[in-house]
Structure 1
Amino acid sequence: MLAAVAFAEPDDSSLLKGLPDAPAAVAGAPVVSPMSAMPEKPRYSKQSGKDLFYFSAEEVAAVPKRFGPMSKEFAAMKYTFDSDVPADIQSQMRDDLAFIGGLQGQGASKLHAQIFGAVDGAAYTRFFESRVKGIGMDDCGNGNAVACVIPFFNPWKMWLTQNYIRFSHPQVSRMMVVFHEARHTEVSHGNYPHASCPEPFRDENGNDMTSIWTGASLAGEPACDKTPFGSYGSSMIMLKNIQKFCSSCTDKVKMDAGLYADDQFGRVTDAKARKQIIDDLYR
């Protein structure tokens, strides 16, 4: 069970007004909400801009009330890009997914096996394609955002920003963000919301913890995890396993994967969760 988490309160109490309700579910039968009935652009709580996108407690609570489980027919569909996603962003996303889909590995940690399976491109492709069914463009309410999932608007769609191709971060780090966001599509797990980082928030050397994306302080921000299975936890487990077990990766890819994994591990703040990851990957 997830530990209790704190969220930033939405700045607009009418945030959810005007959005269609999910169709009534027949007992035992999965349903898919009518995506065509959704407003053209999503709405969400105000973003601080200090790190990546986050959603509020109100938004999370709305998801199971509005969406049933994904139907088998919908689950079998491959993701599609909206027509307004620029060609260069589509091309970069396809290249990145092809890169991650082509990885080969030997071995995997227990947590990785539990979340993704083997360190293997086919396993990563299945993970992504079983969760993300649409890719669109939005600013995600934050000039520093790279991508976002807005669960109460459409829990199976990922939104990209222009930063996806503007930020000069390594390819494997973009995939870390993409798989972080894919974790947020999981309605059955409460969309794995972020936890609030502690105040003060310092590393083992007493330095303030800052975002690897923006350089801003993370103290008090909804930018942490209290479980290895959350969005930060699972994506850092993925990258740390790529560093340790990828047999087809270059030394540069493995170095980048380790650097970003270690950084994101700092955002896992619960002592029990940290011990699970340390025992799994750092012994």
Structure 2
Amino acid sequence: MKKHEGRILFKLQASILALFFFMSGSIHALEFNWFNDDKEVEMISSDLEFLYSLKFSKTNLLHNKVFGEGNKNTYKEFFEERINTIRKSNTMANMYAFNVDGYRDTIAVTNNFFKLPRLLRIAILIHEARHSEETGNHWHHADCPIPHLDDHGKPFVSDIDGGVLLSGKRQACDSSRLGSYGIVSIMMKNISENCENCNLEMKEQAHKIYQDIKKRIISPLERRMIENNE
């Protein structure tokens, strides 16, 4: 078979799908495995391209601590340094996605993942990319405390997760603002406050996700540090 320059080849119903991103003068080969629907591959690819295209007027010190220095979009480098493969999973039907044990550079997504709006899909991909790191022992989650209350003594409820009560929920919280939930909250706060090429609806959605995911940080001090960009 002859090779054609610039060609994207989807091998559906095969073990590997390779997609090449031509962005910012660099090429990154992200493998897509076990997908039978090229629309799902295209959706994820479009989500990442959208994320990488965001422009920011500024970023704060806490955001830079996680995603890199400078008032620029560093999400591409963050994701591609950690993840090489995204694969489809027909198991774990109660989940949206998970970082694959033994293959830490791999994210598995379920059918539920594709039912979510774009910003939540992006949030999940960044969340799982954080779990790929050996630093921080892969940033494992913690059980939410009983009770898990806000500053006014009211139980935390996750609105974006169907109104689920977080108190006592197993492996659904983080002890650090720098864990997988925390960094997504930091990222969404940055998008809601500093994105230059996002419309108002997108910024409002990002703000809602930021506020909701922040509830999963156990320590009130750590939550305030996210609020204050510390």
TM-score (norm 2): 0.80
Equivalent in the alignment of 2:165? 217
Q: Which residue number corresponds to residue 176 of structure 2?
A: 227
The alpha-carbon distance between structure 1 residues 140 and 120, as it changes in their structure 2 partners (threshold 3 A), is farther
1:108 is aligned with what amino acid?
A: T
Alignment partner, residue 160 of structure 1: 109
Q: How many residues align?
A: 202
- Letter paired with 1:148: F
Residue equivalent to 1:103: 54
Q: Which residue of 1 aligns with 2:76?
A: 125
Unaligned runs of 5+ in 1: 1-39, 41-75
Question: Within the alignment, does 1:80 sit opposite 2:31 as a pair?
Answer: yes
How much does 1:223 deviate?
Answer: 0.9
Q: What residue identity is the alignment partner of 2:96? A: V
Do the aligned partners of 1:140 and 1:148 also contact (CA within 8 Å) in 2? no
Aligned partner of 1:278 in structure 2 is 227
**1:115 shift after superposition:** 0.7
Residue aligning to 2:24: none
Are the equivalent residues in 2 in contact too, given 1:228–1:273 (CA < 8 A)? yes
SS in 2 for 1:136: strand
Normalized per residue, the structure richer in strand is 2
Alignment partner, residue 147 of structure 1: 97
1:261 is paired with a residue whose SS is helix
State the secondary structure of the residue aligned to 1:148.
strand
Partner SS for 1:280: coil
Aligned to 1:137: 88
Map 1:23-34 to 2 at 5 A: none
Conserved 8 A contact 2:127-2:184: yes
CA offsets 1:105-162 (integer angstroms, 9 cap, x no match): 01111110111124644x111111110111111145242x221113x33111000111
> What amino acid sits opposite 1:176 in the alignment?
A
Partner of 1:198: 145
The higher-RCO structure (CA 8 Å, 6+ apart) is 1
Tell me, in whole angstroms, the C-alpha distance in 2 between the residues paired with 1:90 and 1:119: 30
| Counterpart Cα distance in 1 of 2:87 and 2:141 | 22
Q: SS of 1:78's equivalent?
A: strand
Aligned letter for 2:108?
W
* RMSD between aligned residues: 2.1
Flag the 1:85–1:226 CA change in 2: closer, same or farther, 3 A. farther
Aligned partners of 1:213 and 1:201: how far apart in 2? 16
| 1: CA distance, partners of 2:99 / 2:51 | 20
The 1:107/1:85 distance shift into structure 2, 3 A limit, reads farther
Letter in 2 for 1:116: F
Question: Which of 124, 133, 156 is 1:186 aligned to?
Answer: 133
CA distance in 2, matches of 1:253, 1:119: 20
Residues in 2 aligned to 1:125 and 1:98: alpha-carbon distance in whole angstroms: 9
CA distance in 1, matches of 2:207, 2:55: 17
Using structure 1 for the length normalisation, give the TM-score. 0.66
In structure 2, C-alpha distance between the alignment counterparts of 1:120 and 1:278, rounded to whole Å: 21
Q: Is the 8 A contact 2:182 2:217 kept in 1?
A: yes
Residues 68-114 of structure 1 show CA distances to partners (whole Å, capped at 9, x for unaligned) of xxxxxxxx963200143521211110110010010000111111011
For 1:204 and 1:139, how far apart are their aligned partners in 2? Answer: 40
What's the % identity of the aligned pairs? 28
1:219 deviation in Å? 1.5
